[in-house]
Chain A
């Protein structure tokens, strides 16, 4: 079993402005997409999870921190910093369809950032739930000021020690986007 060194991974983050222009009294929404690298996703197999379960390694928690900031010539201005956790709980399923499809009795349910469970019947869907996200952040246009602004986002993902991964933090920085605020 290979235990991945998470710190060495290069994840990807992508930032887009849903509406790139707004009045001063309006709002601007940004969409931030993030994913763990393919190398990491490929290493999360049902065999790896079965072993984790056997070793009582049954809760996988990832803490994400998104920082949205305006790029200024004299330093950046933080617009929003949002933290949330997503979880997997590994459990012994009695679902005959899972047993038949994946030949495993160890399955997972997700816990979203609001603390509610998500149930899956597809493994890729379950991986997408925890290792990827798409988050929309809305700010008041007045926070940027009149004129064009360069805005960027960074994402930090922290994972703790598991049988299939070393503890570590990975960071990704998106490409900046330009938005424009006009007077009312």
Chain B
């Protein structure tokens, strides 16, 4: 006991305070102070609840990266038409969005069902039959239209990007109709979050969804082996093939857990590279530790954005290094430049720097290697230059002279000698900055793979400064827009309450639909078939691995 106290004091002597913030107690949700500090070149959060005591948690796995990323801090535009009017900021209570929320919706989730065809033991999001208070939540088409109207009513920037999610959204037969409704309301980007099983079983669905208006698939993909990816290891290749036939882009979404699949992060990128004609991005999600966990367990599984970035650097032997990554708000200088020349408020990714990061990598066809954008673009110089031009325009300089300056200088930030074969990024950048439309952004991404990180919070590392800037939201039938990390981190206040209010008991749903919830469960047909035919051990896996080693 004494030695533990001494150890703690020695540890605290090596700590360097960074700042204070507000958090919640992981036991009782009480809003409490939290200190952010550095120790052993890592950043931690410590907070003490007067009732439940102290919690210490890894917040960001690299102090150097924390300081580099936080330099891009950029508070968003706030809400001009908040759904919940609040005088004082009281996150995480009364989310809706409230007067004090700082980011407009970057991506709006609509849960269209909480039914799923899989029963993954670790998933908290699907309706489990037999549990007391189990509700099937499936908003009606009218409710969905109403939710999208709420999103489009956001000001100053109407929401323009929707993710249809679940449960498993392909369980709903009226999904094409839902997609059409969302598009009819003026949303340009519609993403379908799926496990891919139904698309693997029924490849024609990819074309149907694409025709209805889906922009891309957002598909869970936790690893390249059956062990690391029990969810859809056997099915994902078929789903990707279906999307290839339908010319429908795919984003692979691995949830990264330390000691479970972090050793396959680079293999996942290589798999994406092998399918670069259809896979547009890999979006790694360091695990969010839900439910009660001991400190020891949390230390075993906790991984943060810098940890994943460093793991990829190590596994790729520097092909994709830590300095190639930038925090999401580093896009802001581009937004500010476009706002300065158009004098209109633009779509902006103003999330907290610790929430997300990304980089673009381009395939050099000569060497078959991935080349991060930072190797041939002076990103820091470009950002600084755009900041300066925006400052000049905002200070009254002639806009057209400044535009001419940008047009003359923009290609100078690209080193043509190091640019991958067949790419003209200078021209693409020019188009993005001067045409600044959705299709220009799309073309910038067509020739590349976007590598992203998105770390959703949990009760242990919850930071109200992050929550206040969240731009991934949920649309709910009561016409609210709720930040992801309120909706899922405190389900008892948000997700569960809403699903109960707008859902129906499982028994009632079964009676109404003349089917049992378990009728549509996926029974692993593709896995069984592959193993039976020996295909699983040969062709399919070999094909996958040849993609990785190739």
What is the interface of chain A, defined by CB distance below 8 A to chain B? 53, 56, 58-59, 61, 63, 85, 87, 89-98, 105, 109, 111, 115-117, 119, 121, 160-161, 167
Contact = CB atoms under 8 A, between A and B. Distances in A.
B307 interface: no
Interface stretch (B138-146, B192-200, B391-399): B391-399
B465 A89 contact: no
Interface of B: 18-22, 33, 66-68, 70-71, 73-75, 77, 89, 91, 100, 102, 380, 384, 387-388, 391-392, 394-396, 463-465, 468
Given A85-B384, A92-B468, A94-B465, A58 B20 contact: no
A95 B73 contact: no
Given A97-B20, A105-B89, A92 B68 contact: no
Nearest to A106: B75
Given A91-B75, A96-B22, 13 more contacts: A61-B388, A61-B391, A92-B75, A92-B468, A94-B89, A94-B91, A96-B20, A96-B33, A115-B68, A117-B73, A119-B19, A121-B19, A160-B392
Contacts of B394: 160-161
28 contacts: A59-B74, A59-B387, A61-B387, A61-B388, A63-B388, A85-B384, A87-B71, A89-B73, A91-B73, A91-B75, A92-B100, A92-B468, A93-B465, A94-B21, A94-B89, A94-B465, A95-B20, A95-B21, A96-B33, A98-B20, A105-B89, A115-B68, A117-B73, A119-B18, A121-B19, A160-B392, A160-B395, A167-B395
Contacts of A89: 71, 73-74
A94 B64 CA distance: 22
Contacts of A53: 75
Contacts of B392: 160
A86 B436 CA distance: 29
Contact of B70 (A59, A61, A85, A117): A117
Contacts of B380: 115
Contact of A95 (B19, B70, B74): B19
A91 B22 CA distance: 15
A94 B22 contact: yes
A98 B21 CA distance: 10
A58 B348 CA distance: 15
Given A58-B75, A94-B21, A116-B68, A161 B89 contact: no
Given A105-B89, A167-B395, A167-B396, A116 B22 contact: no
B90 to A, nearest CB: 11
A116 B384 contact: no
Nearest to A115: B71
Where chain B touches its partner, the secondary structure class is mixed
A115 B353 CA distance: 14
Contacts of B73: 89, 91, 109, 117
Closest 10 CB pairs of A and B: A167-B395, A160-B391, A161-B395, A117-B70, A95-B20, A116-B67, A111-B71, A94-B22, A160-B395, A117-B71
A58 B74 contact: yes
B68 A90 contact: no
A95 B44 CA distance: 16
A88 to B, nearest CB: 11
Max chain A CB contacts within 10 Å: which of B22, B102, B391? B391
Nearest to B23: A94
A161 B33 CA distance: 36
Contacts of A58: 74-75
B363 to A, nearest CB: 29
A116 B70 CA distance: 8
Nearest to B73: A89
A60 B391 CA distance: 9
A94 B464 contact: yes
Most buried by B among A53, A85, A96: A96
Most buried by B among A56, A96, A116, A160: A160
A76 B44 CA distance: 53
Nearest to B339: A56
Contacts of B68: 115-117
A93 B67 CA distance: 17
Contacts of A93: 465
Contacts of B21: 94-95
Nearest to B463: A94
A117 B388 CA distance: 19
A97 B18 CA distance: 13
B380 to A, nearest CB: 6
A96 B47 CA distance: 13
Most buried by B among A94, A96, A109, A119: A94
Interface centre among B67, B74, B100, B394 (most CB of A within 10 A): B67
A56 to B, nearest CB: 7
A58 B75 CA distance: 8
A109 to B, nearest CB: 6
Nearest to A90: B75
Contacts of A111: 71
B198 to A, nearest CB: 43
A109 B66 CA distance: 13
A49 B396 CA distance: 21
Contacts of A87: 71
Residue with the highest number of chain B CB atoms closer than 10 Å, among A63, A91, A93: A91
A116 B73 CA distance: 11
Contacts of B388: 61, 63
A121 B289 CA distance: 31
Nearest to A87: B71
Contacts of B18: 119
Contacts of A59: 74, 387
Contacts of B75: 53, 58, 90-92
A98 B20 CA distance: 9
Contacts of B100: 92
B324 to A, nearest CB: 15
Nearest to A167: B395
Nearest to A118: B67
B368 to A, nearest CB: 33
A98 B468 CA distance: 17
B323 to A, nearest CB: 11
A139 B468 CA distance: 48
